Structure 1
Amino acid sequence: MAFQYQSLAASMAHKIYSGELIAGQRLNSLRQFAQKQGISLNTAKNCYELLEAQGLIYAQNKAGYFVKWQQLANPYDHLALPEHPDFQPASRDVSHLELQIQIQEDAINNQLIHLGSIQLSPNLIPTEALRRSVQRALKHCKPEDFLYSDRQGHPILREALSAHWAEDGFHIAAEQIYISNGCMPALSTIIQTITEPGDSIIVPTPNYNGQLQLLALLKRKIIEIPADSNGFDLERLAQAMQQPHAKACLLTANFQNPLGFCLSNQEKEKIAQLAAQYQCPVIEDDIYAECSHAQQRPLPIQYWDQHGYVVYCGSVSKSLSPSYRVGWFCLPTRLKHLHARLLIQNVLVNTPLQLGLADLIYSRAYRQHLTALKPKLHEQVQQYRDFIAHAFEGVEIRLNQPQGSYALWLQLPAQIDSWDLYCFAQQHGINIVPGLLFGGADRYRNCIRLNAGHELSEQIQQAIQLLANWVKKTLKI
C-alpha cells in the first residue's frame, strides 16, 4: 500500500500531466499545502521532494515551489510501433543455440560500445550508498553470519524484501522467499523443479533471448504465442495452456524485454485465473518492474494469484547493479512440498552482499535510488528514441515506446538482414543484438534490440549514426 505522501504526489502528478497545473505555476507553500490536505508538515515535504525527484516541480530560493514539467512538441512522435507477424503456436526446440551463446558473450564485452546487453550505466548506480550499506552490514553482523548461510537466504534480507514489496502494494511472506544468485539462476531452479526435460514452456514472442538460451540448455521445448507492443493475446495463451505437453508459462508482465509493454491489471488477473483453471504454473520474471518510467511500480501477476500457480522471480540486476548477484524466487503455499528439493538445488549466496542489500532497503537508500532513477530512465529512453529517429531519417523504421525499462526494439525495412548489421557493428566495436535470436522461423530478421541504459554520449551517438549509415547504404538511400 502506498504511503500518504506517495498518493498525494501521484494525484498532483496527474494534474500536471493533464494540464490542470501548468509549467511555471506557483504551488502552495509546504505549510499551506499541509493545512489544506490535513497532513503533517513532514508528509507535505516528502510529497514535494518526490515530485522534485520526478522532475515535475522545482524549488526557487525564497520564492517557493513551481510546476516544471511541460510536454514539448516532438518532431519524431510520428514514429510507428513495430509490426508483428501472426502465427499459430506449436511446440518446438529453441533455435540458434550456438549463436545465442556467442552473441551473449559479445554482449557483455566491456571493450565494445554498450548497445547490446540491457544494463545501467555505472553513473546511474548508487555506488556510495552501496558501499555504506555493505560497511554497516559488516560492522553489525553477528558471528554466525560468517558461517555457511541459510540456503533459503538470510532471514534479514527476506524480511527486508517482504516489507519493501508491501510498500508497493503486494504481499509475500518472508518464509516464501528464496534468495538466489540472480534472476536467471532463480528461473533455472524453478524450471528444473516443476518441469522435466522435453516438456514445453509457453513464452510470448519476441522474447528475451537469454530466457530462450536457458530453456535450450535445460532441454525444454517452447510454445510461442505472438506478442506486440501492447502485450499478447490471452485467448492464444489459454489455448496453449490446454496443450498436453505445455507444463508451465514463462512470462514478464511488466516491461517485457524486448518490447517494453506492461499488461493491464485486468490482464494480469486473467492470467492468474487461467493458470489455476488449466493447472499450468506461471513463472513470473518481474525483473524490470522497478524500472517503470512512472513512479508507481506496477503490480505483478502474483498479486492476483489465489490458488498458488504463480512463482514470482526477480533480482536487482536491472534496477541497481548487474554485478550485485542477488535475486529471488517466491514459492506459493501450494508448492511448499518442494521446499527440500529447492534447498538442495539453490546455490548459497554471498552473506555480506545479502546483508548489504537488506541495509540498503531498510535505510531507505534503495527507495531513494529508485525515486531518482525512474525519471532519468524516462528522459534517457526518449533521448535515444529521438536520436535514432534523427539518425535514420529517410529510412522507414518502426520503434517501440517502452513504458518502463530501457530496451529498444527497432524494426528496419524488410530488405535489411540484422545479422549482416550485427557483423558490421562488431567490426566497428559496437554491440547490438540481432532480432533472429528473439523467436523462431527468423520472424524478426529485420529487427535489432538496443540498450538505452547508458547516457547518450557522443560515442554512442556516433555508433548509432554508423549503423544508420550502413542501413542507408544497403538500401541505396
Structure 2
Amino acid sequence: MGIQYRDLAHQLAQKIYAGELGAGQRLSSLRQFAQSQQVSLNTAKSCYELLEAQGLITAKPQAGYFVQPQALAVAVPQHVDFAVTAREVSNLELQIEIQEASIHDQMIHLGSIQLSPNLVPVEALRRSIQRALKHSKPEDFLYSDKQGHRRLREALSAHWAEDGIYMAAEDIYISNGCMPALSVVIQTLTQEGDSIIVPTPNFNGQLQLLASLNRKIVEVPAHANGFDLNRFEQAMRDSGAKACLLTANFQNPLGFCLSPAEKEKIAQLAAQYQCYVIEDDIYAECSFDLKRPLPIQYWDRQGYVIYCGSVSKSLSTAYRVGWFCMPSRLNHLRAQLLTRHVAVNTPLQLGLADLIYSRAYREHLNRLKPCLMQQVEQYRQFLIQAFSGIDIRLNQPKGGYALWLQLPEAIHSLDLYRYAQQQGISIVPGIVFGEEQRYKNCIRLNAGHELSTEIRQAIECLANWTRRQLDYVVLDSKSA
C-alpha cells in the first residue's frame, strides 16, 4: 500500500486544485473507489484520510466524503504584447544586485527560487555519499574525466529512460549546475554580438547570463499558457538568431508547461531554420503530476536541441551538479566544449549516482511532488487573502514553485523591492524579467519554503505597502 495510496491522493488533489472536482461534490464511497482503482479497501481509506488531513475533503457521518471549498480564485496575469526585435539586455547592475540580495542569509527568502532545507533528503544524501566513498576506486581520486564520471552519466541515462527520455551516456556532459552548462553551450554555439531568442517574461538569471556574455536577445511575448509559436517562428526566420533559450516545462516565472504538440513543433522549427534550441529543463522533476513531462529534446530528430538541467531545483541548490547533452551532429565541437568546461567534484558525482541507483532519488521525487503542489496552492490562497481588495492577478503553475504576481498598474515593483529590502524581505521585481519595463507592476515570489508565520507576515507586509501606495494615488488624483 506504501506509495500507492499517496499516488491516488495526489491524482485526486490535482483534480480538486484544477476545479475538475468542485466544492461540495460528493466522492465515490470507499468501496466504489477501491473497486474503480483496483486497490484494497485499506488503500482507498488511507487515500481519503490523507486528503482529509490536507484539508481537501471532509467526511460527513452517514453521507460520505465531500470536496472542501478551495476558497479564493483570481485571474491569471495579463498577456503583454510587443514587437519582436533584437536588442541588448539592460539593467545588468540591477540584475547582479538582486541576485546577491536574494541569497543573503539574513533575509526572508521570497526571492530566489529554492527548496526549503526541510524538503531536502539530507540523510539519504549523506548515506549515498558515504557509500560512494566507501566503494570508490583509486582512480576516482585522480583528475577526473572532464566530460563527467562515467558512473553518473550512466545513472542519469538510466534514470531518464524510466521517464521515456533516452540519452546515451556518451552524449552527457556533467557540469557545476545548470547555469554553467548553459554558459558553455551558448559560448560554443554563438559568438559575442549574436542574438538569442527568449520568451519573456523570462528567468532573470538567464538574461543576466546573456548580458554577461555580450549576447543580444530577441524577445517573444509569453503568457500564462506558453507563447505564440507563430511569433516564435517569425523570430527564427527573420531575426538572424543562431539559437533560442527555452524552458518548456514549468517555465520560470510563469509556470506554464507546453503541450507535446507544441514541443514537437519547436523541434521541427529548429531543424527547418537550423536554429539551435538550448533547452533548460531544470524544473521538469518538480511536476505536480507524478508523470514527468517530456522535454522538447524528445522530438528532436535532426540534432538541433541541446538538453540542459541540474538537480538544483529538485534536490538542493547547494548540490552543484548539472549537465548538458550534445547531439551527435555537434561531436565536432567536443574539443571546444571541454576547453570551456570545468571538471566537477568527483565525490559529489559519485554520491548523486548512488542516490539514483539506490532509488532514494526517485523516492524523494515521489514525496516531493504532492508536497510542492499543496505548498504552492497554500501560497496562492494566502496571497489572494492578504491582497484582498487589491486588483491582483496570479499565475497557477502546473509545476515548479515560482509565483508571478501582477499588481495594479500604479504600483512599481522596483519601489516595492526597495521597501521589502528595508524590511528584510527578499523579492524579485518584474522589470528584470524583460526589457522596456514591461513587467514593472509584477513581482516573482518563491514558494519553495514552508508557509511559516514569518513568511505570512512578510507577505502581509508587502500587501499593506501596496494598499498605502494605492491610497496615495487616490489622494493625488482627488487633489489634482
1:26 Cα deviation after fit: 3.8
Instruction: Decide which of 295, 298, 301 is 2:293's aligned counterpart.
Output: 298
Q: Which residue does the alignment assign to 1:25? A: 30
| Aligned mates of 1:188, 1:461 — CA distance in 2 | 36
| Aligned mates of 1:448, 1:70 — CA distance in 2 | 36
Q: Which residue does the alignment assign to 2:72? A: 76
- Paired residues, number: 450
Q: Which residue does the alignment assign to 1:347? A: 342
Residue 225 of structure 2 corresponds to residue 230 of structure 1: yes
Runs (4+) off by over 2 Å: 8-24, 26-29, 51-58, 68-72
| Aligned mates of 1:230, 1:206 — CA distance in 2 | 12
| Aligned mates of 1:127, 1:70 — CA distance in 2 | 37
1:69 Cα deviation after fit: 9.2
Instruction: Decide which of 137, 142, 165 is 1:142's aligned counterpart.
Output: 137
| Aligned mates of 1:24, 1:464 — CA distance in 2 | 40
TM-aligned CA distance change 1:316 to 1:222, over 3 Å: same
User: Contact 1:118–1:453 at 8 Å: present in 2 too?
Assistant: yes
User: Contact 1:54–1:372 at 8 Å: present in 2 too?
Assistant: no
TM-aligned CA distance change 1:388 to 1:331, over 3 Å: same
User: Contact 2:245–2:279 at 8 Å: present in 1 too?
Assistant: yes
Amino acid at match of 2:403: L
Instruction: Decide which of 79, 86, 91 is 2:86's aligned counterpart.
Output: 91
1:52 Cα deviation after fit: 5.6
| Aligned mates of 2:192, 2:65 — CA distance in 1 | 53
TM-aligned CA distance change 1:216 to 1:210, over 3 Å: same
TM-aligned CA distance change 1:332 to 1:455, over 3 Å: same
TM-aligned CA distance change 1:69 to 1:353, over 3 Å: farther
Residue 457 of structure 2 corresponds to residue 462 of structure 1: yes
TM-aligned CA distance change 1:172 to 1:52, over 3 Å: farther
Q: Which residue does the alignment assign to 2:56? A: none
Residue 422 of structure 2 corresponds to residue 417 of structure 1: no
CA deviation map 1:43-68 (0-9, x unaligned): x79x969x96995699xxxxxxxxx9
CA deviation map 1:97-136 (0-9, x unaligned): 0000011000111210010000000000000000000000
1:307 Cα deviation after fit: 0.3
TM-aligned CA distance change 1:282 to 1:10, over 3 Å: farther
Residues 137-216 of structure 1: matches in 2 within 5 Å?
Answer: 137-216=132-211
Residues 111-150 of structure 1: matches in 2 within 5 Å?
Answer: 111-150=106-145
User: Contact 1:53–1:375 at 8 Å: present in 2 too?
Assistant: no
Q: Which residue does the alignment assign to 1:269? A: 264
| Aligned mates of 1:178, 1:262 — CA distance in 2 | 25
Q: Which residue does the alignment assign to 1:338? A: 333
| Aligned mates of 1:116, 1:444 — CA distance in 2 | 16
SS in structure 1 of the partner of residue 426 of structure 2: coil
Q: Which residue does the alignment assign to 1:62? A: none
TM-aligned CA distance change 1:10 to 1:163, over 3 Å: farther
Residue 302 of structure 2 corresponds to residue 307 of structure 1: yes
Amino acid at match of 1:342: L
Residue 384 of structure 2 corresponds to residue 379 of structure 1: no
User: Contact 2:375–2:450 at 8 Å: present in 1 too?
Assistant: yes
| Aligned mates of 1:13, 1:192 — CA distance in 2 | 42
| Aligned mates of 1:12, 1:236 — CA distance in 2 | 36
Instruction: Decide which of 373, 377, 392 is 1:397's aligned counterpart.
Output: 392
CA deviation map 1:382-403 (0-9, x unaligned): 1101111111000000000000
CA deviation map 1:164-216 (0-9, x unaligned): 00001110011000000000000000000000000000000000000000000
| Aligned mates of 1:53, 1:158 — CA distance in 2 | 40
| Aligned mates of 1:437, 1:346 — CA distance in 2 | 28
Residue 408 of structure 2 corresponds to residue 408 of structure 1: no
SS in structure 2 of the partner of residue 134 of structure 1: helix
Let me know the Cα RMSD of the aligned residues.
Answer: 2.7
Q: Which residue does the alignment assign to 2:57? A: none
TM-aligned CA distance change 1:447 to 1:164, over 3 Å: same
User: Contact 2:14–2:289 at 8 Å: present in 1 too?
Assistant: no
Q: Give me the TM-score of the superposition, normalised by structure 2.
A: 0.89
1:421 Cα deviation after fit: 0.4
1:9 Cα deviation after fit: 5.9
| Aligned mates of 2:384, 2:12 — CA distance in 1 | 29
TM-aligned CA distance change 1:440 to 1:52, over 3 Å: same
Instruction: Decide which of 423, 435, 439 is 1:440's aligned counterpart.
Output: 435
| Aligned mates of 1:27, 1:127 — CA distance in 2 | 40
SS in structure 1 of the partner of residue 173 of structure 2: strand
| Aligned mates of 2:267, 2:43 — CA distance in 1 | 37
1:88 Cα deviation after fit: 1.2
CA deviation map 1:355-414 (0-9, x unaligned): 000000000000000000000000000110111111100000000000000000000000
Q: Which residue does the alignment assign to 1:63? A: none
Amino acid at match of 1:315: S
Residue 97 of structure 2 corresponds to residue 102 of structure 1: yes
| Aligned mates of 1:430, 1:138 — CA distance in 2 | 40
| Aligned mates of 1:97, 1:13 — CA distance in 2 | 42
User: Contact 1:410–1:449 at 8 Å: present in 2 too?
Assistant: yes
TM-aligned CA distance change 1:383 to 1:339, over 3 Å: same
Amino acid at match of 1:457: S
SS in structure 2 of the partner of residue 246 of structure 1: coil
User: Contact 1:152–1:178 at 8 Å: present in 2 too?
Assistant: yes
SS in structure 2 of the partner of residue 242 of structure 1: helix
Instruction: Decide which of 230, 234, 238 is 1:239's aligned counterpart.
Output: 234
User: Contact 1:272–1:302 at 8 Å: present in 2 too?
Assistant: yes
User: Contact 1:53–1:372 at 8 Å: present in 2 too?
Assistant: no
1:75 Cα deviation after fit: 2.6
Amino acid at match of 2:376: V
Instruction: Decide which of 216, 219, 226 is 1:221's aligned counterpart.
Output: 216
CA deviation map 1:447-469 (0-9, x unaligned): 00000000000000000000000
Q: Which residue does the alignment assign to 2:423? A: 428
User: Contact 2:9–2:48 at 8 Å: present in 1 too?
Assistant: no
Instruction: Decide which of 231, 243, 249 is 1:254's aligned counterpart.
Output: 249
| Aligned mates of 1:150, 1:103 — CA distance in 2 | 35
Q: Which residue does the alignment assign to 2:447? A: 452
User: Contact 2:26–2:67 at 8 Å: present in 1 too?
Assistant: no
CA deviation map 1:277-334 (0-9, x unaligned): 0000000000000001111100000000000000000000000000100000000111
Amino acid at match of 1:22: L
| Aligned mates of 2:43, 2:307 — CA distance in 1 | 33
CA deviation map 1:237-285 (0-9, x unaligned): 1010012531100000000000000000000000000000000000000
| Aligned mates of 2:439, 2:197 — CA distance in 1 | 19
